[in-house]
Chains A and B, each alone.
Chain A
Amino acid sequence: MIRRFREKIDPNTFLLLITITLFVLMYIAGILIFRDKHFGRVQVFLNLFISNGGLIVAAVSMTMVLISGGIDISIGSVVAMTCMLLAWMMEKQNIGIIPAIIVVLIIGVIFGFFQGLLIAYLKIQPFIVTLAGMFFARGMTAIISTDMISIKNEAFLKIANAKLYFPFGGYVNRSGDIVYPYIYPSVVIGLVVLLLMFFVLKYSKFGRSIYAVGGNEQSALLLGLNVRLTKLKVYVLNGFFAALAGFVFCLNTSGGFVEQAKGFEMEAIASSVIGGTLLTGGVGNVIGSIFGVLIKGTIETFITFQGTLSSWWTKIVIAALLCFFIVLQSILGSSKDKKGKISKDH
């Protein structure tokens, strides 16, 4: 039965469907289990976005990198470095918020450029390059400052805490006022990046080249695409997004410290993979990745609402989900191979 169903729809849509179903089921379960804690409120749902603004940017970017057939495990460290650098510039050097943001974005681009150069032009495995990048950025964070720096810059805090209210969906609190649901600017940035990348991946030549390169590098080359340049562009853009994700992350945490955003790269990869992106490249879309982020957020909310479980369970559950989806992909992939279609080796 399942096999017949699978033959009708293509396996990638199948993966995405599993993800969306999983999210909906989890959310309904949450509403039922945590009824007394108002899990069903609109604000709880919006909080999934609020607490994961940075992750949305990172997951979208990671999806792009994975589609191109690469991977980036330095993204968490770059986020930490960005936060620290922002905090250091604004608090220790009295640099204004705008120049500070511009500087971190430029550094992100340069960082991405170097990684891209090593990967695209020297053909070093993306994993090794970004592993080194991960340690480099984490170490740089500590070189900037080993102590935590809190951001007290007024302009920054104003942006970070600006509540953007929705005109609907409110509830009446105990004192009789209507409380409308709200989001922060960080969510807006995340959603803008999401929309942007959705269009780039679907409607631009660059976007389509990414899919082609990830699908079969050799073919892409013979079909007349500049494979190396495409890859370089991917990592440069990814560097930019990593820094942007750092800024958004920083809006939530308002400070920098060395251990910040540890395991963030894993969350981004997991969100992307759970959202139907294939680790072998060529397949994926950013909409799926958002569901990945939402699933991760929901698990977190469960653990917070439950109250007694340690936050470490989030990481374990995420890893288990990642593992589950990787195995699923591998099984779907191998059944595809057996049908004798174009294999990736050629």
Chain B
Amino acid sequence: MKIKSILRNISRHSMFFPITCLIIVLVINLIKTPTFFHVSINNGVLYGYIIDILNRASELVILAIGMTLVVACSGGTDISVGAVSAVAGAITIYLLVGPMSSGDYRMPYVLAILLGLLGAVLCGMFNGFLIARLKIQPMVATLILYTAGRGIAQVITQGFIIYVRKEEFKYLGNFIPGIPVPTPIIIATIVLILTNLLLKKTALGLYIQTVGVNRRAAKLVGLNSSLFIFLVYAFSGLCAGISGMIITSRVYSIDANNAGLNIELDAILAVAIGGNRLDGGKFSLAGSIVGAITIQALTTTLYAMKVTADQLPVYKAIVVVFIVVIQSSEFKRYIGKLLSRITKHGDRKQVEV
């Protein structure tokens, strides 16, 4: 009995679902590749499957942080994040080297990055304005930049794939000489820590949940819901910008068509696997992070099974549908009805016997 109740408590914990998902994926990998958990140091940097997964999950972790807050506060999702990443990357690289992939920087590196991030934040603010002020459904509002974003990025790059031929540019997306940990992991960790500080050391985290749980009651305790909804979309834009920087630095180039492609689905998926309700309210940042890592692990696994990047969305779409169906209260109701019918049926049989 005691074990049973402990088990029940564990299974009810908010982190139960995401961690179970992660463990399942990891175990599958461990069976396939016994060396899965090995970590070694090659050429002065950390090396191994696990490091690779964490490294490649970094952009997603950052996006998932923004997406979690968007979902919690507004009960909607931001599907423009992939396109906004491309816009931010395009701005920064274009400002740095111009359209012709020339060798020299045209402006200070840091300034170009800040301007790229500014562009992303402006995109987020545009979304936020449409949603908070004009009360447009979040999905529809972000659909505008979802499509137009890549067009804007194309216009900035003038349709070229622009390369940056400077070693320092690769630092953000790869390694900084002398540091064994991949830079994206460091950046994701910093973003996570700063966001967590912001949410836990100020009242922001509480406000966001309050607005997400009951907007009418939030108004009566004096909270300005529109303001917070606007802010989370702006923040989601910032997160998209940061991951845009990592994405472009990884391949030291910007391809407006493909930078951050399909990553919005992964981000939404991360939030859902993290045990967060997609209609808003209480959120778990940790859950979303575990969700993001799980998805990257899944992606890596699927790649290892010779699934191409083009085909990946099929499997992820199935997982999304599976999760939202499980979360759906109507589904639970149907199942409940079905179960009660079965048990009733069983009872009747017993009577007959």
Given a CB threshold of 8 Å, the question of whether A touches B is answered with yes
B321→A132 contact, CB < 8 A: yes
Cβ contact within 8 Å between B314 and A135: yes
Q: Which of B79, B278, B328 contacts A123 (CB 8 A)?
A: B328
The verdict on B340 contacting chain A, using a C-beta distance below 8 Å, is: no
Chain A interface residue count, CB cutoff 8 Å, equals 45
Chain B contact surface mostly: helix
Q: Closest chain B residue to A280 by CB distance?
A: B137
Is A135 a contact of B313 with CB atoms below 8 Å? yes
Within the assembled complex, what's the spacing in Å between the Cα atoms of A118 and B151?
Answer: 32
How far is the CB of B180 from the nearest CB of chain A, in Å? 36
A330 near B134 with CB under 8 A, answer yes
- The segment from A12-20, A94-102, A233-241, A308-316 that touches chain B is A308-316
Q: Which residue of the partner chain B has the closest CB to A133? A: B317
By a CB distance below 8 angstroms, the chain B residues around A142 are 308, 310-311, 314
Asked if residues B147 and A315 are in contact (CB atoms below 8 Å), the reply is yes
Can you name the residue of chain A whose Cβ is closest to the Cβ of B327?
A124
Q: Which residues of B contact A316 (CB under 8 A)?
A: 148, 151-152, 155
The answer to whether B268 touches A315, judged by C-beta atoms less than 8 angstroms apart, is no
Is A50 positioned at the interface, with any CB of B under 8 Å from its CB?
no
Q: Is the CB of A146 within 8 A of B143?
A: no
B144 partner, pick from A258, A313, A319, A330, beta carbons under 8 A:
A319
Binary CB contact string for chain B from 316 to 353 against chain A (1 if under 8 A, 0 otherwise): 11101100110011110010000000000000000000
Interface centre among B137, B154, B159, B313 (most CB of A within 10 A): B313
| A contact residues around B334 at 8 Å (CB) | 122
Q: Measured between alpha carbons, how far is A313 from B148 in the docked complex, in Å?
A: 9
The secondary-structure label for the interface of chain A is helix
Interface residues of B in 137-155 (CB under 8 A from A): 137, 139-141, 143-148, 150-152, 154-155
Q: How large is the interface on B (under 10, 10 to 19, 20 to 34, 35 or more residues)?
A: 35 or more
Neighbour of B311 across the interface among A129, A133, A139, A313, CB < 8 A: A139
Question: CB-defined interface of A136-156 with B at 8 Å, one 1/0 digit per residue?
Answer: 101111110010000000000
CB of B300 within 8 Å of the partner chain: no
* Given the contacts A123-B330, A269-B143, A312-B154, A330 and B262 also touching, CB distance less than 8 Å: no
For residue B320, which residue of chain A has the nearest CB?
A: A132
Of B140, B155, B329, the residue contacting A312 (CB under 8 A) is B155
Q: Given A142-B308, A142-B311, A319-B148, verify A136-B317 contact (CB < 8 Å).
A: yes
Q: Which of A91-120 contact B (CB under 8 A)?
A: 118
Quick check: is B192 within 8 A (CB to CB) of the other chain?
A: no
Chain B window 123-165, contacts with chain A (Cβ cutoff 8 Å), 1 for yes, 0 for no = 0000000100011110111011111101110110011000000
- B155 adjacent to A146 (CB under 8 Å): no
Name the CB-closest residue of B to A326.
Answer: B136
A73 & B151 in contact (Cβ 8 Å cutoff): no
For the complex, what is the distance from the CA of A258 to the CA of B330, rounded to whole Å? 35
Specify the chain A residue showing the minimal Cβ separation from B158: A310
Take A310-B158, A312-B154 as given contacts and tell me if A135 and B148 are in contact as well, using a CB distance cutoff of 8 Å: no
- Which residues of B (254-295) have their CB < 8 Å from a CB of A? 262, 265, 268, 278
Smallest CB separation, B319 vs chain A (Å): 9
A322:B144 contact, CB within 8 angstroms: yes
Contact A138 B313 (CB under 8 A): yes
Q: A192 in the interface, Cβ–Cβ < 8 Å?
A: no
A39 to B: closest C-beta gap in Å: 24
Residue on B with the closest CB to A309? Answer: B155
Q: Complex Cα distance A319/B142, Å? A: 11
Q: Which residue of B lies closest to A319 (CB)?
A: B148
B148→A320 contact, CB < 8 A: yes
Q: How far is the CB of B78 from chain A (nearest CB, A)?
A: 12
Bound-state Cα–Cα, A73 to B135, Å: 20
Shortest A145–chain B CB gap in Å is 10
Partner of B139, one of A127, A266, A310, A312: A127
Contact call A323/B144, Cβ cutoff below 8 A: yes
Closest 4 A-B residue pairs measured CB to CB?
A: A142-B310, A319-B148, A139-B314, A135-B313
Residues of A within 8 A of B (CB): 71, 73, 118, 121-125, 127-129, 131-136, 138-143, 146, 258, 263, 266, 269, 279, 310, 312-316, 318-320, 322-323, 326-327, 330-331, 334
Binding site for A on B (CB under 8 A): 77, 79, 130, 134-137, 139-141, 143-148, 150-152, 154-155, 158-159, 262, 265, 268, 278, 308, 310-318, 320-321, 324-325, 328-331, 334
Can you list 21 residue pairs at the A/B interface with Cβ under 8 Å? A132-B320, A133-B317, A134-B317, A135-B262, A139-B315, A141-B310, A266-B147, A269-B143, A310-B155, A312-B151, A312-B154, A312-B159, A313-B151, A314-B151, A315-B150, A320-B148, A326-B136, A326-B140, A327-B136, A330-B134, A330-B135
